[in-house]
Structure 1
Amino acid sequence: MKVAVTGGTGFVGGKLVDALLKRGDEVWIISRTPGRLSNESKNLRRVTWNELEASPGLLGNLDAIVNLAGESINQRWTEDAKVRILQSRLDATEHIERIIAKMEKKPDVVINASGISIYGTSQEAVFDENSPPDVTDFLSGVVEKWEEAADRIDVPRLVKLRVGIVLGRKGGAFPLMAMPYRFFVGGKVGSGKQWLSWIHIEDMTRLLLFCLDDPNISGPVNAAAPEPVTNDAFGRVLGAALRRPHWFPVPAVMLNILFGELSLLLLEGQRALPRKALSHGFEFRYPTISSAMKDLVGRG
């Protein structure tokens, strides 16, 4: 399979590129700036948006595009940051739309990253891929606009992968989430009742490959483990795995002062289930937070 990946040097993208190469696929990383990759080879190449806009034939006989590009949301949401967060996602998706429109042979599938934030937040509701969007805050609005842009891409199959919190040892949110516990000051955040829909990085990578390979999967797909947990439950399992106490609660007002509007990510959540992935036969290697934590921390 010949696959183009945007965001291919990031936390999730890097793992996907490694997995694709390991199984013998040809991978093209699409980036904003020119330059060679340190491990560039006949199976791994780099191309810029400008090069593709000028010569879409560079990706001749392309089978798939995976779009993981977008500025990190893990920063204070100033007005300038909000513009960058939204525009970076729209720009990459619109680039893909224009490039595919110029291609003589279109790829069979585009997987466009999205987010479970599109469902809004709730402590009681359970969301799956049939749940309607609920745009109540900045992040849910970003995801809605992102998916609207993806819907304009003209390909036989479009997958909108609605990603939860991706947990990995050396990237994403987990190292920061674990840090207070390593210093013996871990505890619930806010009420602790807010839901955390998460997925282990290994399952995230496997689900991306699964969606690439299964021609029957299209539309929204929740990339989240089948057993979401509350913030309090997550902290208890993390503390136990690290052999640290779970005792030092972080008041909501402190997070608001420290992080501003970004604190919504920690104080509110949603319980999203991967019904479509499960119905198509995907098997999670880490379905529970306990199994994931044993791997992430290295002990139970």
Structure 2
Amino acid sequence: MKTVLVTGGSGFIGRGLVKDLLARGDRVTVLTRDVGRTQAALPGARVVSWSSDRPGPWFEEVDGVDGVIHLAGESIVKRWSEDARREIVRSRIDTTRLMGEAIGKAKRKPGAFLCASAVGYYGPQPGERVLDEDAPPGEGFLADVVVHWEEAARAVEEQHGVRSVQLRIGVVIGEGGGALDKMIAPFRLFLGGPIGDGKQVTSWIHRDDVVGLTLLALDNEAVRGPLNVTAPHAATGEELARAIGAVLRRPSWLRVPEAMVKLGMGDAAEIITTGQRVYPRRAEALGYQFRHARLAPALESIFSR
């Protein structure tokens, strides 16, 4: 049994992770800004209020736990106004630095610090280029954010000797939330199809495997540094649209012009008009067995529930 502190526990990934931690007998404390709603969503967890932008009594919750899993972060799927950019940076980089400060002040430091990161680290890349954890960072706003985010996470190990893992999470699909809810909406209206030429690559992963790889990183002391949290078989936009259409029994041929997406989202359009083929090389080396390695069966498992 482990004692685990989780931020972002009320989010799409966090809910699944906390439930699995509790199911295996771990004691879980969730830091949240909305105690009542989080407690109702996660019975069995201990829920504590926190202020993600300043120190507070919540610092004491870090003391003596076996692991800290830091998942909190503002959504990037919106127009990147100056205010939105500042909040994206604050909610990722600044909160990670603040968590590092809390860990530094703990008398009994955690055994591990697992911090969410993102495949945005690699920036937009050609679909034929396969990226493992040793690939260099890309360029652009998101890549810059993730580079500094990971630097803040690594500092916890460099400054305080706490094993640090950076979870480079891809596009997460699953039942009841995540990217899939937004993806399927046009298909339900018979308006589904790929973006532009459909050649951009989406490095996706089922929420079950995000949870599975996070638990692996928590339990296995050999895991440190970046870990690609993606399925081994990425999909092009064309393949993704075809698979969603097939599962929903809807057409998938109506293409959405890139110009229309850019008009609506501005610079943030790169999230869906570009991509990168990220491969989970370290997960493979660690012997992790994916529950959902291929897209079509993964989608079928979601919609059959």
Aligned-partner residue type, residue 264 of structure 1: E
Whether 1:37 aligns to 2:39 is yes
For these two proteins, the number of residue pairs brought into alignment is 298
Aligned-partner residue type, residue 147 of structure 2: E
Residue number in structure 2 paired with 1:181: 187
Aligned-partner residue type, residue 28 of structure 1: T
Give 1:90 deviation, angstroms: 1.7
Q: 1:112 to 1:289 in 2, by over 3 A?
A: same
Equivalent positions of 1:143-182 (< 5 A) are: 143-153=146-156, 154-182=160-188
Residue number in structure 2 paired with 1:112: 115
Whether 1:17 aligns to 2:23 is no
Residue number in structure 2 paired with 1:289: 295
Whole-Å Cα distance in 2 between the matches of residues 280 and 152 of structure 1?
Answer: 24
Q: 1:55 to 1:81 in 2, by over 3 A?
A: closer
Q: 1:54 to 1:127 in 2, by over 3 A?
A: same
Larger displacement relative to structure 2 (54-63 or 237-246): 54-63
Residue number in structure 1 paired with 2:27: 26
Whole-Å Cα distance in 2 between the matches of residues 130 and 72 of structure 1?
Answer: 26
State the TM-score, normalized to the length of structure 1.
0.94
Gaps of 5+ in 1: none
- Percent identical: 39
Matched-pair contact (CA < 8 Å) for 1:49–1:95: no
Give 1:32 deviation, angstroms: 4.2
Give 1:297 deviation, angstroms: 2.1
Whole-Å Cα distance in 2 between the matches of residues 296 and 236 of structure 1?
Answer: 16
Whole-Å Cα distance in 2 between the matches of residues 245 and 210 of structure 1?
Answer: 39
Aligned-partner residue type, residue 6 of structure 1: T
- 2:223 is aligned, of 195, 208, 217, to 217
What are the superposed Cα offsets for residues 256-297 of structure 1, whole Å, 9 maximum, x if unpaired? 111111211111000000010111011100000011111122
Matched-pair contact (CA < 8 Å) for 1:25–1:43: no
Equivalent positions of 1:43-122 (< 5 A) are: 43-49=45-51, 53-54=56-57, 56-122=59-125
Q: 1:290 to 1:82 in 2, by over 3 A?
A: same
Matched-pair contact (CA < 8 Å) for 2:35–2:47: no
